Chain A
Amino acid sequence: MEHPALTRRRLLALFGAAATLPVLSACGSSVGGGGSAPAAGGGGGTIKVGLVVPQSGVYASLGEDMTRGWELWLESNGGRFGDYTVETVAVDEGETPQTGVPAVQRVIQQDDVDVVVGLVNSATALGVKDLLTESRKLLVVTNAGAEGLTGAAATPYIWRTSFTNGQVAAAMGTHLAETGFAEGVFLIAPDYAAGTEVIENFRAAYTAGGGTIAGEAKPPFGTTSDYQPFLSTIQASGARATFCFFSGAEAITFVQQYAQFGLAQSIPLYGSGFLTEGSVLPQQGQAALGVQTTLHYTDQLDNPANTAFVEAYTAAYGESPSTFSVQTWDAANVLNRALATATALDGDSLAAALGGIGAVDDSPRGTWEFDGQTPRQNMYLRSVQDANGTLVNAVVEDLGPQSQPG
Chain B
Amino acid sequence: MLVSVLNGFAIGFLLFILAVGLSLVFGMMDVLNLAHGALFLGGAYLGAVLGGSWGGFLGALGLAALGGLAGGVLLSLMTEPLRRRSHLDQALLTLGVALIAAELLIITFGDDPLSAAAPPGLDGSVTVLGAVYPTYRLLIIVIGAVLALAVYLVVDRTRVGALVRATVDDREMVSTLGIDNRLVKGAVFAVGSVLATVAGVLGGPIYGARPGLDATVLILALVVVVIGGLGSVRGALVGALVIGQIDTVGRVLLPDFASFVLFGALALVLVVRPQGLFGTRAVAR
A-side residues, CB < 8 A to B, are: 56-58, 60-61, 191, 217-220, 222-226, 228-230, 232-233, 235, 248-249, 252-253, 256-257, 260-263, 279-280, 283-285
Contact = CB atoms under 8 A, between A and B. Distances in A.
A164 B216 CA distance: 30
Contacts of B55: none
B182 interface: no
A61 B210 CA distance: 13
Given A56-B111, A232-B4, A283-B114, A222 B208 contact: no
Nearest to A278: B112
Given A58-B111, A58-B211, A222-B212, A229 B134 contact: no
A328 B252 CA distance: 41
A253 B208 contact: yes
Nearest to B113: A249
Q: Which of B219, B247, B255 is packed against the most chain A CB atoms within 10 Å?
A: B255
A226 B247 contact: yes
Given A225-B216, A228-B4, A232-B1, A283 B113 contact: yes
Contacts of A249: 113, 208, 210, 212-213
Given A219-B258, A226-B7, A232-B3, A57 B206 contact: no
Nearest to A250: B113
B268 interface: no
Interface in B107-140: 111-115, 117, 125, 131-134
Q: Which of B4, B11, B112 is packed against the most chain A CB atoms within 10 Å?
A: B112
Contact of A261 (B115, B132, B208, B249): B132
Contacts of A284: 115
28 contacts: A58-B210, A58-B211, A61-B112, A191-B259, A217-B258, A218-B259, A225-B208, A226-B247, A226-B248, A228-B248, A229-B7, A229-B248, A229-B251, A229-B258, A230-B251, A230-B258, A232-B4, A232-B131, A233-B252, A252-B208, A256-B115, A257-B134, A261-B125, A261-B134, A262-B125, A279-B112, A283-B114, A285-B117
Contacts of A252: 113, 115, 208
Nearest to B255: A217
Q: Which of B219, B249, B259 is packed against the most chain A CB atoms within 10 Å?
A: B259
Closest 8 CB pairs of A and B: A262-B132, A249-B113, A229-B251, A60-B111, A260-B134, A220-B259, A249-B210, A283-B115
A235 B112 CA distance: 31
Given A226-B11, A229-B4, 6 more contacts: A60-B111, A61-B111, A222-B216, A228-B4, A248-B113, A283-B113
Contacts of A225: 206-208, 213, 216
The interface residues of chain A, by DSSP majority, are classed as helix
A172 B46 CA distance: 38
A223 B216 CA distance: 6
A163 B123 CA distance: 37
Nearest to B135: A260
Contacts of A56: 111
Interface string B169-191: 00000000000000000000000
Contacts of A191: 258-259
A257 B137 CA distance: 11
Contacts of B255: 217-218, 229-230, 233
Contacts of A218: 255, 258-259
B113 A229 contact: no
A57 B125 contact: no
A228 B7 contact: yes
Nearest to A229: B251
Contacts of A226: 7, 11, 206-207, 247-248
Contacts of B250: 229
Contacts of A61: 111-112
Contacts of B11: 226
